[in-house]
C-alpha cells in the first residue's frame, strides 16, 4: 500500500474528480484509456482529451481494468470494486464494493443489451452500428460482471446492485477469465446468454441472468505451471479484434500477479 505522501501525490494530481473539456463527441471517435488509477476519454482522431476521471472509490495509482458496454456505460474494476461511469461525461453512475472480495485487481465484462438506446440516441448514420446478434430471441437485462480471487459477482448494469455471485469451486484465488456469448452463437440448446468462467484448472458455464450452473469441467490435471486460464471462441475473437483488448489476449492483471509472486519468493514479503 501507499504511504501518506504517495497517496497525497495521487490525490493532488487532479484538481477535481472529473475534468471535463465540454466538447461533444461521437461514439466512433472515442478511445477510453486507464493508467495510474485514472480514466481518460480521448479522441481517436487527434488524441485530444474529452474528459478525465479518478476511479470512483479511490485507486491510488493501481491497475484499472475497463470495458465499454453496448449501452454507453464504461465499466471499471480496481482494488476489489466494480464501478460504472458515463461514457459521454465521465460522471459516476454507481460503485459496487463487492463485499468480501478483498482489494486486489478486478476483471470486468458486461453482457449484451440487445438494444442500445444510449448509443442509438447519441449517434447518427450507420457507421456506429455494432455487430448483429443473429438468432437472438430473448431480450435480457444487461448484467455487469466483476471477478477477482476466484469469485464472480453479477451486478445490475443500471442500479449497481448485486444480482448473484459464484465462488468458482476448485479455482483457487486466481482472477477468473470471463467470456460471454449471445444467444445461438454456440449450441442452440441455450436460448439465453451464457457466461463462461475459467479459473485454475476449471471451466464453468453459467446462465447470465440467474447464475444457474449449466455445467462445469476440469480441463487440466497438470500439477505444475500457472493456474490462469485464457479462453476464446471464433465469435468473441472477432469482437476482441474489432472492439477491445482484455485479459485473455493482453494479460496485464496476470503480469501484475506474477510480479507479486516473484517479489514474495525473493523475500519481499
Contact between 218 and 202 under an 8 Å Cβ cutoff? The reply is yes
**pLDDT tens column, 182-195:** 876 655 578 889 99
**Could you read off the pLDDT of 216-264 as tens digits, one per residue?**
999 998 888 777 788 888 877 877 776 666 666 666 677 777 778 878 8
DSSP state of 175: P
Indicate yes or no: pTM above 0.85: no
Topology annotation, domain 4-122+136-262: Lipocalin (2.40.128)
**Pairing between strand 107-110 and 92-96?**
unpaired
Please say whether the beta carbons of 190 and 215 come within 8 A: no
Chain-centroid distance of CA 93 in Å reads 15
The chain-wide mean pLDDT, for the chain, equals 80
- Helix or strand run (H / E) with residue 27: none
pLDDT tens profile 45-70: 999 999 999 999 787 778 899 999 88
Amino acid at each position: 500500500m501507499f504511504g501518506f505522501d504517495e497517496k497525497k501525490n495521487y490525490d493532488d494530481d487532479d484538481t477535481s474528480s472529473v475534468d471535463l473539456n465540454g466538447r461533444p463527441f461521437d461514439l466512433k471517435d472515442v478511445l477510453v484509456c486507464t493508467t495510474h488509477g485514472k480514466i481518460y476519454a480521448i479522441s481517436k482522431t487527434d488524441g485530444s482529451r474529452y474528459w478525465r476521471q479518478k476511479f470512483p472509490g479511490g485507486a491510488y495509482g493501481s491497475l484499472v481494468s475497463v470495458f465499454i458496454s453496448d449501452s454507453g456505460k464504461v465499466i471499471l474494476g480496481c482494488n476489489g470494486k466494480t464501478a460504472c461511469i458515463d461514457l459521454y461525461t465521465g460522471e459516476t453512475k454507481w460503485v459496487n464494493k463487492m463485499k468480501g472480495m478483498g482489494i486486489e485487481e478486478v476483471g470486468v465484462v458486461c453482457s449484451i443489451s440487445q438494444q442500445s438506446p444510449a448509443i442509438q440516441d447519441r449517434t447518427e448514420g450507420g457507421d456506429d452500428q455494432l455487430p448483429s446478434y443473429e438468432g437472438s430471441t430473448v431480450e435480457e437485462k444487461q448484467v455487469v460482471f466483476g471477478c477477482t480471487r476466484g469469485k464472480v459477482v453479477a451486478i445490475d448494469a443500471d442500479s449497481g446492485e448485486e444480482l448473484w455471485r459464484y465462488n468458482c469451486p476448485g479455482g483457487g484465488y486466481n482472477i477468473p477469465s470471463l467470456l460471454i456469448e449471445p444467444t445461438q452463437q454456440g449450441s442452440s440448446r441455450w436460448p439465453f446468454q451464457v457466461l463462461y468462467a475459467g479459473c485454475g484448472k476449471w471451466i464453468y458455464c453459467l446462465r447470465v441472468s440467474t447464475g444457474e450452473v449449466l455445467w462445469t469441467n476440469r480441463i487440466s490435471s497438470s500439477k505444475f505451471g500457472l493456474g490462469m486460464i485464457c479462453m476464446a471462441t471464433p465469435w468473441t475473437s472477432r469482437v476482441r479484434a474489432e472492439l477491445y483488448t482484455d485479459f485473455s489476449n493482453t494479460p496485464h492483471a496476470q503480469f501484475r500477479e506474477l510480479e507479486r509472486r516473484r517479489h514474495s519468493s525473493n523475500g519481499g514479503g
